[in-house]
Structure 1
């Protein structure tokens, strides 16, 4: 129990410290450079929860070793597309819905075939990467963002491995609810 608390308390603190919109252009906050890129996904609850959720869900899947690297690779592809000017219509709503979907997958302990999981996580990551590419097109910022994204996804994977099943399911329900609130606020 103490070990779970030691792991979950910092994760919950991180989630509660982030804000829903700071990571987006309308918020007006953008530090550029490598450190700005590292900080970026920690400052928006939608990106923070999505990345943690991918890790948590992947830990609860059999044969899911490809989900974290797929997510990071597709974030990079989406960032490149965004940096080149590709803007996806309804991007913010799509991102909020990915948070809700990932949370629901965790809450219901959903198991999908590996190929379907990789395709879905890849599509979700492309949306998140596209938003970041539009916001932080500099290479140094992008590299920082990829480092932070990897930290969050693999940190979430560790949380998914050590967290008690019921606590993980409840956290998934909270993530899903947060995603729906974010979607409703748009």
Structure 2
């Protein structure tokens, strides 16, 4: 695959984000259960890209499992806060920004000290968890979105370790573009 074709793929992937507001998340009710929670991170581009991105970034750095573990733990804390009715001002814009920032970290192959990378990922996770907690407040839904998130994080981590560095960086650039488009939609 040539660099030119990779650029075309990145542009097409970024443009496809424009059609996503028409997609509906499953659940969004107190009655939503495990399956709605499980499907939720796969059906929202912001959550999908952020979780894959955190995994890719961690895999790219070939560090410990601290980043995905921190993401899951802090996402759960954010979800519990959301379920309790606590909100974060500018939440949707913040979530879109996490996509752009994670993509930028991948595109630049940003190697932060482990404590700083883990802290940044933890902040991102609180925002994503808080949104999940508001949208899917049932405990059974939380089990679903936690499992889906773990799958996405580990899938991204694997991809970050096995894909060619050039492909990883182009995917990061595409993720940054997608995050900027999402920010513009908020």
TM category (shorter chain) comes to 0.7 to 0.9
Question: For the residues of structure 2 that align with 1:36 and 1:135, how far apart are their CA atoms?
Answer: 10
Provide closer, same or farther for how the CA distance between residues 61 and 43 of structure 1 changes in structure 2, counting only shifts above 3 A. same
- For 1:116, the equivalent position in structure 2 comes to 116
Q: Paired residue for 2:9? A: none
Q: Describe how 1:90-105 pairs up with structure 2 within 5 A.
A: 90-105=90-105
* Alpha-carbon distance in 2 for matches of 1:160, 1:87: 32
**1:72 counterpart residue number:** 72
Deviations 1:16-69 (A, max 9, x none): 79x64478xxx5742611111000000100000000000000011243420010
* Equivalent runs, 1:80-159 vs 2, <5 Å: 80-159=80-159
Distance 1:68 1:22, change over 3 A: farther
**Structure 1 stretches lacking a partner, 5+ long:** 2-12
Q: Structure 1 residues 91 and 60, CA, compared in 2 at 3 Å: closer, same or farther?
A: same
Residue 30 in structure 1 maps to residue 54 in structure 2: no
Distance 1:57 1:43 in 2: 21
Normalised by the length of structure 2, the TM-score is: 0.85
Whether the aligned pair in 1 keeps the contact of 2:25 and 2:40 (CA below 8 Å) is no
Gaps of 5+ in 2: 2-12
Give the distance between the partners of 1:28 and 1:55, measured in 2 at CA. 22
Superposition TM-score, scaled by structure 1 size: 0.85
Deviations 1:64-122 (A, max 9, x none): 42001000111101000000001101000000000000000000000000110111000
For 1:28 and 1:160, how far apart are their aligned partners in 2? 27
Equivalent residues of 2:56, 2:106 under 8 A apart: yes
C-alpha change, 1:21 and 1:146, in structure 2 (3 Å) is: farther
User: How many equivalent residue pairs?
Assistant: 171
Deviation >3 Å, runs of 4+: 19-23
CA distance in structure 1 between the partners assigned to 2:21 and 2:41 by the alignment: 11
Q: Provide the C-alpha distance between the structure 1 equivalents of 2:84 and 2:58, rounded to a whole number of angstroms.
A: 30
Task: Return the alpha-carbon distance in structure 2 between the equivalents of residues 83 and 22 of structure 1.
Answer: 26
2:129 and 2:99 mapped to 1: Cα distance? 14
